[in-house]
Chains A and B, each alone.
Chain A
Amino acid sequence: MKINDKPTDENTLREEYEEALIKLAMSSFAEREGQRLAQENEALKNDPFYQPSAEAERKFARSMNRRYYKQKAKNFLETSYQHFHKVAVVCFITIILLATSTLAVEAVRIKVLNFFVNVQQQYTEIRIKEKSGEPSLEEKDIVSKNVPSNWKNDYAPLNIPAGYFINNSVNGDNFKTIEYANGRNEIIIYQQFDEQVISNIDTENADSINEITVQGHKGLLINKDGERTITWSNDVKVFLIMAENGNLQEEDMIRMAESVTLIK
Chain B
Amino acid sequence: MFPVVISAIENDDDRFFIAQFYEQYYPIMKKKAYELTHDYSIIDDLIHDAILKLMKKIPTLRSLGYYKRTTYIVYTIRSVAINHNRQEAVKSKKSYLGMSDDLMESIPDPITIDEVCATNEDYRELGEAIEQLSERDRSLLYNKYNLELSDTEIAEIMDIPINNVRVYLMRARLRALKILTRRGIVSENQ
Contacts and interface: CB of A to CB of B under 8 A. Distances in A.
Interface in B172-190: 173, 176-177, 180, 185-186, 190
A215 B70 CA distance: 59
Contacts of A34: 65-72
Interface stretch (A46-54, A81-89, A183-191, A192-200): A46-54
A56 B45 CA distance: 9
A121 to B, nearest CB: 8
Contact of A60 (B48, B65, B67, B127): B48
Contact of B2 (A60, A67, A68): A60
Given A30-B71, A60-B48, A65-B6, 20 more contacts: A14-B190, A21-B186, A22-B173, A25-B129, A26-B130, A26-B142, A27-B126, A27-B127, A28-B130, A29-B127, A31-B68, A32-B128, A32-B131, A33-B74, A37-B71, A41-B24, A50-B27, A60-B44, A61-B19, A68-B15
Which are the 7 A-B pairs with shortest beta-carbon distances?
A: A34-B67, A28-B127, A44-B27, A50-B27, A29-B130, A41-B28, A25-B126
Interface in A53-69: 53, 56-61, 63-65, 67-68
A53 to B, nearest CB: 8
B22 to A, nearest CB: 6
Interface in B133-171: 138, 141-142, 145-146
A31 B138 CA distance: 14
A35 to B, nearest CB: 5
Contacts of B5: 61
Nearest to B142: A26
25 contacts: A14-B190, A18-B190, A21-B126, A22-B145, A25-B127, A25-B176, A26-B146, A28-B127, A32-B67, A34-B65, A34-B66, A35-B67, A37-B70, A40-B31, A44-B31, A52-B26, A57-B1, A59-B44, A60-B51, A61-B19, A64-B6, A64-B51, A65-B9, A67-B52, A68-B10
B55 interface: yes
A17 B27 CA distance: 39
Interface residues of B, number: 55
A111 interface: no
A73 B23 CA distance: 27
B61 interface: no
Contacts of A2: none
Contacts of A28: 123-128, 130
B78 to A, nearest CB: 11
Interface of B: 1-2, 5-6, 9-10, 12, 15, 18-19, 22-28, 30-31, 44, 47-48, 51-52, 55, 65-72, 74, 123-131, 138, 141-142, 145-146, 173, 176-177, 180, 185-186, 190
Contacts of B15: 64, 68
Contacts of A18: 173, 177, 186, 190
Greatest chain B CB density within 10 A among A17, A33, A56, A58 is at A33
A61 B4 CA distance: 10
Nearest to B34: A50
Contacts of A52: 22-23, 26, 44
A57 B48 CA distance: 10
A229 to B, nearest CB: 24
Given A26-B141, A28-B126, A60-B48, A38 B131 contact: no
B19 A23 contact: no
Contacts of A64: 6, 15, 18-19, 51
Contact of B126 (A24, A45, A57): A24
B120 to A, nearest CB: 13
Nearest to B190: A14
A61 B44 CA distance: 13
A32 to B, nearest CB: 4
A45 B176 CA distance: 34
A51 B48 contact: no
